[in-house]
A = this chain, B = another copy of it.
Amino acid sequence: HMSAKVIDGKAIAATIRSELKQEVDDLKAKYGEEGTPGLGYLLVGERKDSQTYVRMKKRACEEVGIQSYGQDLPADITQEDLLKAVQDLNSNPKVDGILVQLPLPAHINEEEILNAVSIEKDVDGFHPLNIGKLSQRGRTPLFVPCTPRGCIELLRRSNITMEGAKAVVLGRSNIVGMPAAMLLLNENATVTICHSRTKDLPSVVREADIVIAAIGRAEMVKGDWIKPGAAVIDVGMNSVDDATRQKGYRLTGDVDYAAAAQVAGAITPVPGGVGPMTIAMLLRNTVDSAVRRMQKKQ
């Protein structure tokens, strides 16, 4: 049996974080305290998972020298007060990026909140204007969504040829599938976008030199769907019951890793693949934004 090269997202993300730390040090050396990049977050309510994500993001900021600002807000905050909190971060000159941790409580109009984020601070890259520019030739978005940007970075740093490759993206969500497809297209891959209405998914995937799986279905992509030698990026994060684990569950991707690793040329594990890259790209976007802020001042 051949065995795929494991794409070590944890290690690649660590490399990126150390590159970013160097860039932030340089910014501070050049501009003093004013050069410090800032990330403002808004965490609404007490969801355990959201609290964990925000904690991880704050810790990662600290590690590379990004200052974090932000607020823990009550679950029953009004639309108006949350809008006000966004606007405060918009007008705070120390904040280069704004992170609104999703999901928001059901009574909040999420689209209105996200649209209120200044596009100059839209480090999540979800603003329709940024998405529009991402999908237009000759335009450059200010920010690219973190998870798909992380997928491309994994491919690039693993020396996988995207130009001319057949790429198949499973999933067409706003935050992963669709922007991942745009980015692959910008890298000159021939891109196929699949979703829940796609017929005979296995045969479509079998054509792919590059697969990005972002469907949220535990281990749905089987080993015999993978073309020998293909690169497989598994975005899925699914918890499945597992009585042998202390927590009672384990995390799996959208790909049957054990089987696919026998066929693929390169593959990301879950955890330790795409996950760490998402946060690294959030830091990347924040530093880029700080660089732009300082350049504008010159």
The yes or no answer to A245 lying at the interface (CB within 8 A) is no
Closest B residue to A203 by CB, please name it: B207
Closest B residue to A209 by CB, please name it: B199
Closest B residue to A137 by CB, please name it: B174
The 8 Å CB contact of A132, one of B135, B192, B194, B199, is B135
What B residues does A152 contact at CB under 8 A? none
**Interface size range of chain A in the complex:** 35 or more
In the docked arrangement, what's the CA distance between A191 and B198, Å? 9
Q: Mark A165-196, 1 if CB is under 8 A from B, else 0.
A: 01000001110001001100100101111110
In the docked arrangement, what's the CA distance between A222 and B278, Å? 44
What B residues does A188 contact at CB under 8 A? 195, 197
Give the shortest distance, in Å, between A76 (CB) and chain B (any CB). Answer: 25
Q: Are A128 and B133 in contact (CB-based, < 8 A)?
A: yes
The yes or no answer to A157 lying at the interface (CB within 8 A) is no
The 8 Å CB contact of A128, one of B132, B172, B191, is B132
In the docked arrangement, what's the CA distance between A29 and B173, Å? 43
Q: Are B198 and A185 in contact (CB-based, < 8 A)?
A: no
What B residues does A132 contact at CB under 8 A? 127-135
Q: Are B192 and A191 in contact (CB-based, < 8 A)?
A: yes
The yes or no answer to A92 lying at the interface (CB within 8 A) is no
19 further interface pairs, Cβ-Cβ under 8 Å (given A137-B173, A192-B193): A111-B138, A128-B132, A128-B139, A129-B129, A131-B132, A131-B136, A132-B132, A132-B135, A135-B135, A136-B174, A137-B178, A172-B185, A181-B193, A185-B193, A185-B195, A190-B195, A190-B197, A190-B199, A190-B204
